[in-house]
Structure 1
Amino acid sequence: MAREDKWDEVFNIYKWTPLAHKAKITNSGDTALHIAVSDDNEKRFEELITEIISKGSEGKKALKVKKEQGNTALHAAALMGSVRMCQRIAKVDPLLVGVRNEDGETPFFLAAVHGKKEAFLCLLEVCGSKDTCEDYSRRNDGDTILRSCCRSWRLFW
């Protein structure tokens, strides 16, 4: 239904069936929240996130669901550059800023490397301490945001 733009039906399911919050509904493991974020559908995102938050600690679990490549909804919001979505998700669980995908990239890392300056600054504020930000800005293989950006820029020259 989310893929077919039947969001009223999706919301009703979310409202009455909390297990649906964590349901992976595409081959790549998207939840309805992932789809709303990726479609940049702020209205539907807001409805879904409000319902997720209303479930307390169970809602937090829904925000930790990862797609096939390990991206959470916050990774998707960072890639989209959506400050509003990043703020709403990170407010529920600030530790999501440091969750790593299969490539060892955090939402903070992805926002920076993909040039989403406002989302990066939003997530920087959530990081808090310098040490935390430094940890979130390094992939598992040791690559930093700066090194990754330089490598990307070299491809264009």
Structure 2
Amino acid sequence: MRNPILLLMGVSGSGKTTIGAMLAGRLGWTYAEADDFHPPANVEKMHAGIPLTDDDRKPWLEATATWMKEQDGPAVVTSSALKHKYRDMLRAGRPDLRLVYLDGSHELIGKRMAARHGHFFPKKLLDSQFADLETPGPEEHPLVVSIDGPPERIVQEIIDRTGLTPRD
């Protein structure tokens, strides 16, 4: 059996990067932020406040899926993965992928996005993220975690609910 990969998904501003990096650090696992796999044209569109299309997202999803396929050890990867078909594409090469959905309200995430600085994703695109979001269904066996709390608590909840052993 291959080493596990946890995919932390949710809309922009849900805390994927913060939670993912902390979780990988606690577990001693490899970490990747899928935003790093976006082609420059996608980043430019988002900077300009233009929502990405499925065609825009395809090379990004392919690059993320390739990274996951190449992992020999356990890893945490963060990606919005908003639609079922995106998650299916990511899961195709890693059927052992474990989905963690970081769930939060539009209001909470909007407040968080308003407070952050230096991120290429403007707050005005949040509506498009929620419009595209297809909440993971039971067939995807998601671990649904509320983001209404401090990152440390969220990371601990993921560890507790998955039964993973942190590196001490």
For the criterion TM > 0.5, the same-fold answer is no
TM-score range, shorter chain: 0.3 to 0.5
RCO greater where, 1 or 2, for CA within 8 Å and sep 6 or more? 2
Q: TM-score, normalised by structure 1?
A: 0.34
Q: Quick check: which one's helix share is greater? A: 1
Q: TM-score, normalised by structure 2?
A: 0.32
